[in-house]
Amino acid sequence: MKAHVLHEPELEFRAGNRHIDPRYGLSVFGPADADSPAAPHQIPVALVGPAQAVDGIRSWLQRCQNRIEAKDTKSGQENLHQPFPGFSVDSEFGAELVFDDSLVREIPERQLRRLARADVASATTDAVEIYADAARSLAETGRCRVVICARPDELNDREDRPPLAEGVAEQEEQEEHEVGGDFHDLLKAAALTLSAPLQLMRTETWTGIPARTGEQATRPLQDEATRAWNLHTALYYKAGGTPWRMQRHSSDLATCYIGVSFYRTANGQELHTAVAQVFNERGDGVVVRGGTAHISKSDRQPHLVLSDARRLLLDALAEYRRTHGHQPARIVVHKTSNFTSGEIDGFHEAADERDIDYVDMLWIQRRGAPHLYRIGQLPPLRGTTVQLDARSLLLYTRGSVPYFRTYPGLYVPQPLLIRSASHGTDPLLAGTDILALSKMNWNNAQLDERDPLTLRTAYRVGSILKHVSSDARIATRYAYYM
């Protein structure tokens, strides 16, 4: 066995310029779609929340129109934290947020005091109804691109609970269990039919004061420039923009990346519904809901029968064509569980019906992979791979980053174990795709996410869709779930 380090994938920005770091690329070149007539240069935003929060959000967002200096770093590690260039038509973003007093819905203090006195479940339900009604009235005006909601401090749902106990190896593992909290998920579920996506903000985001999650514990707070980076790239994407996209050579096949996952319904029944997260190389994402999965007796994981696997992929390809105007030449399917023979046959049948010759099916395991140890104090480099056999690859999507001159994480990085369920798959090409897809998260402008976009979206989408009835209409744009 021999370790190999993949090159850090470059991203594409305005006029085809490229760089490995989203923040550098946006600061120097601007968004990938900046020259497109459809780019969101003016972004009207609506605001929902108590009067003090609305004023605080608006004031901070207006402050973010100008440059915000980066957090102090050690000498030689300046790339780890970068200044925010400002979000305005005069900055490289070439876009600005537009505020209008008529696009504000203030939540009365009386209603918030009632939330503080109620039990957690009742308070959460009432808060969702109050905020959903306000967001709906704003979206129906047709004048806003994004609705920003100030999360009520009076709630004490899962989002306010302390971090998981020691033994959780990765921060991402905690996020998988606590994707936003009950209020976040229920409100997003209630807003899936609106004409504008929601952006939820916690008080600490605009105040810079860490929130207390217990008598002594506080939620870790990012520095101001990082908070500005993450929020404004998310707002730009939700408004219909493309902050950055994956690099694609002219000789590359048009590829459709599909993450297949399952979520348990919220009614207490042991049902698992399949959902496909569908992306192209640009990162344009749509969500397709499938049929009910069945728990396998062999591995105790949810799986699809052949007909449901075929139908899910056909629906995903149909949504891809509606969105992009053409069929892909290559399909890459990611799952966090093994592929059964029925799933493999079903996906192949769907590809054959659409005359698609290239299909890669990859089982990506997030736990239980063997670890590598590197001489010295730092962990293995991000992009380190070891091919274990003809169909198995070990990949570090988190690790030491030469561009940062350090390892930016808090925990020991966990590699991904990638197993191919299809013949003819190039393991290194699969690893390169996954490494590039790990940079396609517009909620985080730092370049070293652990999971590829296809899997990371699964946690968020599932936690929201479990609150939506199976026959209800849902938004297909991924922007509604992030």
Segment 62-109, tens digit of pLDDT: 999 999 999 988 888 989 999 999 999 999 999 999 999 999 999 998
CB-CB neighbours of 69 under 10 Å: 12
What proportion of the chain, given as a percentage, has pLDDT over 70?
92
CA distance 461 to 479: 10
Q: Which of 286, 285, 174, 169 is CA-nearest to residue 220? A: 174
Task: Please check the confidence at residue 178 and state whether its pLDDT lies above 70.
Answer: no
Segment 356-368, tens digit of pLDDT: 999 999 999 988 8
Q: Which of 254, 345, 349, 316 is CA-nearest to residue 454? A: 316
Residue 220's pLDDT band (boundaries 50, 70, 90)? confident
Residues 6+ apart with CB under 8 A from 25: 11, 13, 17, 18, 19, 244
CA distance 399 to 396: 6
Task: Please check the confidence at residue 168 and state whether its pLDDT lies above 70.
Answer: no
Segment 423-460, tens digit of pLDDT: 889 999 999 999 999 999 898 998 989 999 998 888 78
pLDDT at 273: 81
How many Cα atoms within 13 Å fall on the side-chain side of residue 137?
A: 12
**How confident is the model over 103-126, as a mean pLDDT?**
90
**CA torsion sign, 67 to 68 to 72 to 78?**
negative
pLDDT at 115: 86
Segment 138-161, tens digit of pLDDT: 999 999 999 999 999 888 765 544
CB-CB neighbours of 252 under 10 Å: 12
pLDDT at 162: 34
